[in-house]
Chain A
């Protein structure tokens, strides 16, 4: 089990002929992801370097391949449109890797996606199940690790036959539950890319597996947040613990702490980056008004500790904190 994606998830890449799109499409193929095609408007009918079909529109790609997930590498100016194109075509998991998307674009995109989800799920369906899940933008993506095969050099000889990587993370640091010494898997959710790799690496070194790792992205307005991921992990039978990585700014971690207190029964460990960051940098005046005294590392740590999470005092301590929370 895992959340959002699994070995059967069929994935396309929007921006497959761009330099990043091409590199990471290959990376995902080598990991073992079921990449089924890509989209670059105007290059429909061609094949990419891996022999994948290229389509002009996401709709065509979905009709031809049955794709359920996408990773978006188009430039920032076109990312908002690419996200909405994917949703219009019925793509379920939309993973926007692109960094530098204007905030106002994301405000509009989120509003449209939220409306699509509300009308798709209907008013009387409980619990609410989102039809479209946006991950990112400005994120490393999402990965459900699979067991190693010994290969990783080509799509024909992939790293795993039973995993799915959608994004830019290094695959080899992740561990499948069948290969974990503890026999337990944790879910990881993080606002930061490389800090997620650090957390994954540490948990792997402690003999833990990862059920699914979700990089939700560092932008102020984005798709799924900590709480969505906590809910997914709480409901996933394979996930035995949750590692949450936040950073200064905003109030998402405080909200997550309140959610954990009410709704999460699984052990939670957390790290908040930016404890030593100087105040005033990157924080606008009016933003500080809205968040009041919240948004500092200390306020987040206090809230999470109050919700029963084990706090990693340093980033080098994330794996150990997870193990402690799980009582291993």
Chain B
């Protein structure tokens, strides 16, 4: 699960990581007054206005703007709240923007990258830091991997201050900056574990230029990105409450409510499978025979007839779908439940497109019997012998 930037800033601030003054607005009218308040608090005339959407590519799309007057703030807000944001990550339809973050601009002496994620290979959380912040970290990893410092975090005692100090010195922090950077790292690590994150990223973490009050400058978090472990939201009501359904694909959300895992793709052959591995393998099979999968759909191990019927509704709501392949190898999943779901869906929505069904495993005889009995209402149904046969048949039927 992802959250918005402004929510991430609040979370960081609640763990003691300093962030620049900012406020969230939802209307064009609030832009000028919010600009004035935020900038006067920070003693600057510079502010940044940022669209609050999960998708990346905001800057290039014109949805992050620097402004220096109430008029410019209003103009930026007007643009962002009345146009859809289109970037590489949103798809051609774009995203409606309803919330804007208005943050005081800060002068930057240097930008750093700071993140924590779980390293599957070592089965530990790892702190990732780089003195080359503010840019895409993937690029840094590719072009200059030595510029990235990785520090494993002990599973039982967590990040230790000496580890954070070492990273701070290696990043080149000086004087009072060191303590502030260490504090930010310790806070990020505590937050990561306590809130069950799968990614916690500050990019950039900055140092402001030297001033009379703060000769070493000040360490601030400018942008924050968090992803949370969906398996753990049950114990974080506060985090679960930040879920924004408007950011999700409606079909994927609908699927979730029925315990289905659905991802829309670009092809024309819908698939319904039990198990994530088998679902991926089914997509691979379709592609092998020259077809293109329209979706990934894992019904899981304990789907009800209703969930199976809903799965067919979701698949058929994609008008690109010209054929459907059902591939079930029942372990927990009862083949009879799938078969009954198919029959129910046929009654309710009807199958006008070819439907190739391969059933094996738990209670398969009963499942096949149900389909046979209902064959009159399933005129487009073809039974498949095995996985290869199913792939071949559905691709052929779609043509």
Q: Are B121 and A104 in contact (CB under 8 A)?
A: no
- Asked if residues B277 and A191 are in contact (CB atoms below 8 Å), the reply is yes
Q: Say whether A102 contacts B155, CB under 8 Å.
A: no
**B329 on the A face (CB < 8 A):** yes
- Do B156 and A168 touch across chains, with their CB atoms under 8 A apart? no
Residues in B with CB closer than 8 Å to A66 are: none
- Interface hub of A101, A103, A105, A168 (most chain B Cβ within 10 A): A103
A168 near B150 with CB under 8 A, answer: no
Give, as a whole number of angstroms, the nearest-CB distance from B225 to chain A: 8
CB within 8 Å of A: which of B228-251? 229, 231-232, 234-235
Whether B117 and A287, one on each chain, are in contact in the complex, defined by CB atoms closer than 8 angstroms, is yes
CA distance in complex: A251, B287 (Å): 24
Chain B stretch 259-285: residues in CB contact (< 8 A) with chain A: 263, 265, 273-278, 280-285
In chain B, positions 106-129 with a C-beta closer than 8 Å to chain A are 115-121, 123-126, 128
> With A112-B156, A173-B361 as given contacts, are A286 and B287 in contact (CB-CB < 8 Å)?
no
- B residues 294-345 with Cβ under 8 Å of A? 296, 301-302, 329-333
Interface contact B265-A278, CB-CB below 8 Å: yes
B204: chain A residues within 8 A (beta carbon): none
Checking A111, A169, A315 against B285 with a beta-carbon cut-off of 8 angstroms, the contacting residue is A315
A31 interface residue (CB < 8 Å to B) = no
Q: Given A108-B155, A245-B277, verify A221-B361 contact (CB < 8 Å).
A: no
The answer to whether A110 and B123 touch (CB under 8 A), given A277-B296, A316-B391, is: yes
Contacts of B128 in A (CB 8 A): 286, 289-290
Is B198 a contact of A284 with CB atoms below 8 Å? Answer: yes
Per the 8 Å Cβ criterion, residues 91-131 of A in contact with B are 99-108, 110-112
Contact residue among B231, B284, B293, B329 (Cβ-Cβ distance under 8 Å from A314): B284
Judge whether B198 and A192 touch: CB under 8 Å: no
Which A237-253 residues sit within 8 Å CB-CB of chain B?
245, 247-252
CB distance from A189 to the nearest CB of B (A): 13
When the two chains form the complex, which single residue of B115, B154, B232 contacts A104, counting CB atoms closer than 8 Å? B232
Contact B232 A286 (CB under 8 A): no
Among B116, B125, B155, B234, max chain A CB count under 10 A is at B155
Q: Which of B201, B288, B360, B388 contacts A197 (CB 8 A)?
A: B360
Scan A190-202; emit 1 where CB is below 8 A from any B CB, else 0.
Answer: 1111111110010
How many angstroms between the C-alpha atoms of A110 and B361 in the bound complex?
A: 33
Chain A's nearest CB lies how many Å from the CB of B4?
Answer: 17
How far apart sit A197 and B275, CA to CA, in the bound complex (Å)?
11
Are A316 and B386 in touch, CB under 8 angstroms? yes
Proximity string of chain A (296-324) to chain B, C-beta cutoff 8 Å, 1 when within and 0 when not: 00000000000000000111110000000
C-alpha gap A271/B278 in the complex (Å): 12
Task: Give the docked Cα–Cα distance between A218 and B300 (Å).
Answer: 13
**With a CB–CB cut-off of 8 A, which chain A residues contact B115?**
285-286
* B232 & A103 in contact (Cβ 8 Å cutoff): yes
Q: Given contacts A104-B193, A107-B124, A286-B201, is CB(A194)–CB(B274) below 8 Å?
A: yes
Residues 245-293 (chain A) with a chain B CB within 8 angstroms? 245, 247-252, 255, 271, 273-278, 281, 284-292
Give the docked Cα–Cα distance between A317 and B289 (Å): 13
Complex: chain B residue closest to A200, CB-CB: B329
Q: Hey, what's the 0/1 contact readout for B180-204 against A, CB within 8 Å counting as 1? A: 0000000000000100101101000
Main secondary structure of the interface of B (DSSP, over half): mixed
Within 8 A of B (CB), among A166-191: 168-170, 173, 190-191
A195 touches B281 (CB 8 A): yes
- Cβ of B147 to closest chain A Cβ, rounded Å: 12
Indicate if the CB atoms of A104 and B284 lie closer than 8 Å.
Answer: no
Contact with A102, one of B137, B225, B232 (Cβ below 8 angstroms): B232
Nearest CB on A from B275, distance (A): 3
Give the residue of A99, A103, A218, A275 whose beta carbon is less than 8 angstroms from that of B284: A275
Q: Do B199 and A285 touch across chains, with their CB atoms under 8 A apart?
A: yes
Is A274 touching B284 in the complex (CB atoms < 8 A)? yes
- Answer whether residue A77 sits at the interface, using C-beta atoms and an 8 A cutoff: yes
The distance in angstroms between the C-alpha atoms of A119 and B16, with both chains bound, is 39
Check A168 against B117 for contact (C-beta < 8 Å).
Answer: no
B306 to chain A, nearest CB (A): 17
Are B281 and A284 in touch, CB under 8 angstroms?
no
Tell me how far the C-beta of A316 lies from the nearest C-beta in chain B, rounded to whole angstroms: 3
B277, B288, B293, B391: which contacts A195 (Cβ < 8 A)? B277
Q: Which B residues touch A221, using CB under 8 A?
A: 118, 120, 123
The answer to whether the Cβ of B362 comes within 8 Å of any Cβ in the partner chain is yes
Q: Are the CB atoms of B329 and A251 closer together than 8 Å?
A: no
Q: Is the CB of A108 within 8 A of B387?
A: no
Closest to B141 in A: A289
A276 to chain B, nearest CB (A): 4
Contact between chains at B281 and A315 (CB < 8 Å): yes
Partner of A273, one of B231, B277, B286: B277
Q: Nearest A residue to B118 by beta-carbon distance?
A: A103
Can you name 6 A-B residue pairings with CB atoms under 8 Å? A102-B229, A107-B118, A107-B155, A111-B123, A197-B331, A284-B227
Additional A-B contacts beyond A198-B387, A278-B265 (19; CB < 8 A): A99-B301, A102-B235, A103-B229, A104-B232, A105-B232, A111-B123, A111-B156, A168-B301, A173-B360, A195-B281, A201-B360, A251-B121, A274-B284, A275-B284, A276-B293, A277-B283, A285-B115, A289-B138, A292-B145
B-to-A contact residues, CB < 8 Å: 115-121, 123-126, 128, 137-138, 141, 145, 148, 150, 154-156, 193, 196, 198-199, 201, 225, 227, 229, 231-232, 234-235, 263, 265, 273-278, 280-288, 293, 296, 301-302, 329-333, 360-362, 386-388, 391
